Each structure stands twice: as C-alpha cells, then as structure tokens.
Amino acid sequence: MTEQSEFMSGVIEGFYGEPWTQGERFELFGQMSRWGLNTYFYGPKDDLKHRAIWRECYTNPETEWLGSVIQECATHGIRFIYGIGPGLDIRYSNPVDIELLQLRLEQLLSLGCQNFAILFDDIPDGMDADDAKRFGSFASAQCHVTNALLLRMRERCPQVKFCFCPTPYCGRMVAAGLGGEGYLETLGEHLDSEIEIFWTGPEIISQEITVSHILEMQRLFRRKPLIWDNLHANDYDGRRFFCGPYSGRSPELRNLVSGILSNPNNEFPLNYVPLCTLAMFVHNTGYWDARAAYLAAMKDWLPQFTTLHHSIPLDDLVLLGDCYYLPQEEGFHAEALYQTVETVLDPSADDWMVHFHHFREQSSRLKTLCFRLTELRHRRLFYALSRRIWELREELDFLERYVAFLTTRKDPKELFHPEVHLAGTYRGGIVPRLQRLLNRQVDGTFQTTSPVSSVP
C-alpha cells in the first residue's frame, strides 16, 4: 500500500441497534470508493456473535454473507476490519477463552479477512477474582489476551493487523477512573506497538478534538491514536439524527492520528452528508470550511429527495438539515428559527410583528416540506426521517397556534387550551413525564422543580 492508503479513513458499523442490510452495505462501499474512503469496520453491537455470544462461531449461512461483505470490500479496494467484543464475560486467565477467540478470528481469516479489532468498550468495570489475582489490572489482562491473539494469528497470516478499543476510550472516562489507575500508560507500555488503539476524543461524542489533546494521547499510547468518531452517532437518542458536516477537527490532526473512522447514524440513508464531508475533510489540502462542505454535500444529496408530485428545493433541504445538524450545534437556519420563536413568545419585544411574520413563513416552509417528504420515492429514506420530521411538524404547529393565541387573547392571565394537541397524547408518556421532573439549566446542570429534603 502507498503511504496515503495506510491512513485509515472510513466507516464503523458499530452502533447499538438494528444493523444495516447487505444492500445498504454494498451501497456504502460504492459511495466510499467514489469518495476515496478506504476502510470499513464491521462491529454492530446487535450482531449477537460480535458481543453477547462471542464464543459461538458463525454458521455456514452466516459465513456466506460475511464472506460476500469481505469480497465486496475487496472489489472496491476497501480494507475490511472485523471486530469482536468479548469483554462482557471473558475470563482473561482462561486459555479456553483465548482459544475460542482464536477460532473466531481463524474463521474470518478463511473468508479473506486480515484485519481484526479486539474491543473492550462498554463492559463491567470489574474482573473475575482469578483474573485480578493473576494480572492485577484490567489493562494488563487485556494486553495479555490481545498480544497472545496477535502472535497466534501472525503464525497463520504474517500480514494480519490488529486494532484495540480500550475500556476507557475517551478523556472523561479516564478522568472518572474507569479501567483503574494507569490504564492508558499500561496499554502504551505493554500492548504490541503495531496494534492500533481507538480513541473517541475528550468525550464519547466529542464536539472538538484538538491537536494538543491528540499529542497527549500519542504520549500515553506511544503511537498515533486511531480516531473512532461518534460525532454523527445517534444510537443514544432515537428522537434525533445528525446530517451536519464533519467539523470540530483541525486538518492538522490528519498527520497526528493513524486514521479517522466515523461511527454514524443508525439509519443508513441519513449518513450521506456526514460521510461525504468526512471524505472531503480527509482529502482537503487547505483551510477546512465545514459549512461550505455541508452545502456542497447537501446539493449532491438532493437527487435522493425526488417525490411523486413535487421537487424539493435545495434551500428547503438545507433548512431541514440545519434542524438536525450536530449533537451540540444547530445549523445556521435552525438557530435563527429558534431565536425568532424565542422573540415571538414575548409580545412586548421590539419589532414583534416582523419576527412573527418571519416565524410563520419559516414554520410554513418546514411543515409543508415535512408533508411532501411523505411522498418520497426513496422509501427507506422516508422511513428513516418520518418519526423525526413529524415530531418537528407537530411542534411547529403547536407554536403557531400558541402565538396566534397570544395575538387574540383579551385577558393576559388567560391560559392556552390547545384543541388539537391533547394532554396525554401530545408530549405524553413516561419518558416526557420523567423529564419534566427536573429543570435543565443552560450550563447542563439540573435542579428540581420543588425543594428536596435531605436524604437521611
């Protein structure tokens, strides 16, 4: 491989939830090939044999479809990485468990896979008594297992490559003491130097990954980290998705890490812009303008939004995308809409009528778009969008009714009684009720709605 191709760039199918279909994976590989992304990591948490029952080998039908994925990657010049997560119940000191892991990797090796990842993320922070007695620490135990597997697999395939996901895989986890004292230092010292180490940044979902942060990780790992980027992941919040650009990372990072792999939205059709802009970032040679990349990718995505009777204007698609931008950031037009709504909720605000008419215009555009998207010819795309955009439509409709009430009420103390959005159905259910028990502050802290007595 050339030096450029050694830099891993691509996609992790590593979320919690329903895995992608074969058709979606093959469509992904075509996109990756066109965009110049070179790595696909197979590790969906809900492949039971990836994690929950990792000791069981794949059946013949399962190896057939896994083999077809590996072959399709090879056809497109894409590196295939197979991930396995034994950390839920592995006995690090039990040679039988290492042998079972070896059998699984050999099964994948026979299908043409030469790249593997051993994952110890999201597992209980405690070891079996025999393991603790022998190894003393999580990090030592995990290094032992991973190094042993690499040594055995190299005997069968000298070209084999390994990646490793630590138990504390972000800065906040390390600060909280997950994995034990000196965990990362132990990895850096004892994990085979050719094994790549995954890292998500200062947070699980990092708004920003700085050069200084990565330089510190280089020091601890004694190698360049491999970025597992959860910027566009949405498996932690089923009400949202993220189609904003790849951002919050300086182009300088590309020389400081061994690769960048994105673990994106669960819903494959929603990942066009996130992955397209990741590719732009990887191949960019100057100043990185994330917003410009987003607008260019949105224009490329637009043909997938053909409907039965209407064409979707690009400006409307950008407005919708801005409403589902990034985890800690709304897009420009969505932020402007929010500020406008905040203003019209105060009838005494300056130029209130101007803001009111602007809100009505933006709200009408979005509501109309949400309705038109029900006629998308790309039905998988619509199904991925449907619950989210209908919630947006309902909220806008409610706000329109409420603002109209403000303009017509005669008594300032009169309460708004919505006729359509009924109590118990609108914003109903146990989760919204639980959420209303605490008031979230702007800084992310919470306070109760009423005084709480001291716990005895």
The per-residue pLDDT for range 155-189, each reduced to its tens digit, is: 999 999 999 999 999 999 999 999 999 999 999 99
pLDDT tens string 333-353: 999 999 999 999 988 888 999
pLDDT tens string 371-412: 999 999 999 999 999 999 999 999 999 999 999 998 888 888
Q: Report the pLDDT value the prediction gives residue 444, as an integer from 0 to 100.
A: 80
Using a pLDDT cut of 90, give the percent of the chain over it.
83
Higher pLDDT, 441 or 322: 322
pLDDT tens string 269-291: 999 999 999 999 999 998 999 99
Q: What is the mean pLDDT of residues 43-72?
A: 95
Does residue 418 carry a pLDDT above 90? Answer: no
CA dist 156 and 154 (Å) reads 5
Fold: same for 3-286 and 314-410: no
**Beta strands of 151-201 (E only): which ranges?**
161-165, 196-199
Q: Domain 314-410 - what CATH class?
A: mainly alpha
Place of tokens 């597997």: 149
Model confidence at 40, pLDDT cuts 50, 70, 90, reads very high
Q: Report the pLDDT value the prediction gives residue 451, as an integer from 0 to 100.
A: 55
The answer to whether 122 is a known catalytic residue is: yes
Does residue 454 carry a pLDDT above 60? Answer: no
Q: What is the mean pLDDT of residues 35-45?
A: 96
State which H helix or E strand residue 274 sits in.
helix 272-283
Q: What is the mean pLDDT of residues 187-205?
A: 98
Q: Report the pLDDT value the prediction gives residue 449, as an integer from 0 to 100.
A: 58
Q: What is the mean pLDDT of residues 238-262?
A: 96
Q: What is the mean pLDDT of residues 428-446?
A: 86
Contacting residues for 177 by C-beta, under 8 A, at least 6 apart = none
Q: What is the mean pLDDT of the chain?
A: 94
Q: Report the pLDDT value the prediction gives residue 2, as an integer from 0 to 100.
A: 37
CA dist 434 and 114 (Å) reads 48
Does residue 452 carry a pLDDT above 90? Answer: no
Does residue 121 carry a pLDDT above 50? Answer: yes
Q: Report the pLDDT value the prediction gives residue 406, as an integer from 0 to 100.
A: 87
Cβ–Cβ under 8 Å, residues 252 and 214: no
Third-level CATH fold of 3-286:
TIM Barrel (3.20.20)
Q: Report the pLDDT value the prediction gives residue 3, as an integer from 0 to 100.
A: 39
CA dist 273 and 287 (Å) reads 19
CA dist 132 and 120 (Å) reads 16
Amino acid sitting at position 9: S
Q: Report the pLDDT value the prediction gives residue 5, as an integer from 0 to 100.
A: 57
pTM of the predicted model as reported, rounded to 2 decimal places: 0.94
For the chain, domain boundaries: 3-286, 314-410
The total number of residues shown for the chain amounts to: 456
Q: From the candidates 97, 122, 289, 397, which is the catalytic residue?
A: 122
Does residue 1 carry a pLDDT above 50? Answer: no
